[in-house]
Every structure is written in C-alpha cells, then in structure tokens.
Amino acid sequence: MESKIPLLLPLMNISTDAMKSQSENLGPKVTVLTRDTEFRGTVGFTGELQLNGRLEGEILSEDGTLVIGDTALVKADIRAKKVVVHGQVFGNILARERLEMVGSARVFGDVQTGALAIEQGAVFVGKSESLQADKVEKPDIASFFKMLTPAVRETAPARVGKGADSTRPLPGAEAKPVEKGTAA
C-alpha cells in the first residue's frame, strides 16, 4: 500500500520589481554554448554569447558581445557590438564598437569595426575598414613631402630596374658598338 504525503511549500509572493532588482544584481546575461554544440542557421542574442562549438550561418546582435572560444569553428557573417575571437572564423565581421583577435585566433574574411586589436600570434587574412573614418580629419600628406615636389621629380634620375624606363640607358652610358677581336 502506497502512502501519499502532501508536500506543502510556502507561498512566495515576490513582486516583479523585486525580481527585476534581483536579476540586475546578477550582472550581465551570459549564454555559453559548449564545445559539443553545433548550429546551422541564424543566431541572435543580447548580453554576452560565448561560443565554443561549431556554427554555420549568421550571428546577429544589436548590443551584445560575442566571444568565440579557442575550440570554436564559425563559418558565418557576424554583426555585433563587440567581438572577441580566440578560435576560427570564416566570414565577414562587423563589430560596431571593437574587434579583438587574441592569441590563437584565425580570421578569414573582411572586417569593419570601430577599433581593431590583433594580438601577436593571431592570424588575419582579409581587408579591414574603420567605422571611425568619417569622424577622423584626414591630414594633407602632400605637405609632409617637401622634397618630392613636382619640380624636383622632373629633374630626378629615373629609377633603374623599375617600369618602362628600366630598358633605357642611363644618361652618358650610351651603348657603343664592339668590334670583333677587341675587348670592351
């Protein structure tokens, strides 16, 4: 014969304000995808996403930080506020605020970011574009090179071994015919 004992739990009356302040004390929301996870498709997130597995597709976040762990293999285009790469990425990255390639990182694709940091040992194959370019005043570099004014360039000798002028003899070194039996 089975006896049933009622389980009594105290009623908890927590207001949404109390729950909200409790979650704020825990800090930012972090989602961790372990090394044994695999995804195909689009992943969207807020807070922080730590990816240690494999993902193929697209990763999107308006305000989040993406951390690609050293065991991660990502074949995706990435758009996030901040991206930190320790693993391998095959795809383009748009990191609105900052992109860091740390130690063992391998990034194959073009990047656009507000700030770029590539640590020694990291590999980056692609093009980079600064999102700060519109905000920075570009200097007039023509004034930096005072010796290379148009007048000086016209009188300077041609560079030997470069371009079409390389086959032309230097001034004063015209070719002279060599007769048989005479040494040059």
pLDDT tens for 87-105 read 999 999 999 999 999 999 9
State how many domains the chain has: 1
State how far the Cα of 184 lies from the Cα of 180, in Å rounded to an integer.
10
Q: Would the pLDDT of 76 be above 80?
A: yes
- With a cut of 90, say whether residue 120 has pLDDT above it: yes
* 74 within some domain: yes
Domain presence at residue 44: yes
Residue 57, C-beta contacts closer than 8 angstroms, at least 6 positions apart: 39, 40, 41, 42, 43, 75, 76
Q: How confident is the model at residue 2 (pLDDT cuts 50, 70, 90)?
A: very low
Q: Is 43:60 a contact under the CB 8 Å cutoff?
A: yes
Domain with 99, as residue range(s), is: 27-133
| Average pLDDT value over all residues in the chain | 78
**What dihedral do alpha carbons 30, 35, 38, 39 form, nearest 10°?**
20
Give a yes or no: residue 55 inside a domain: yes
Q: Are the CB atoms for 56 and 75 separated by under 8 Å?
A: yes
Average pLDDT in the 55-82 region? 97
The reply to whether 16 falls in a domain is no
Residue 103 lies in a domain: yes
pLDDT over 90, % of the chain = 53
The answer as to whether 12 is a domain residue is no
Q: How many Å apart are CA 138 and CA 148, to the nearest integer?
A: 20
User: In the chain, where does DSSP find H-type helix?
Assistant: 16-25, 150-155
CB 29 within 8 A of CB 49: no
Q: Is residue 6 part of a domain?
A: no
Name the pLDDT band for 169 (thresholds 50, 70, 90). low
Residue 143 in any domain: the answer is no
pLDDT, position 135: 77
Q: Predicted confidence band at 139 (pLDDT cuts at 50, 70, 90)?
A: confident
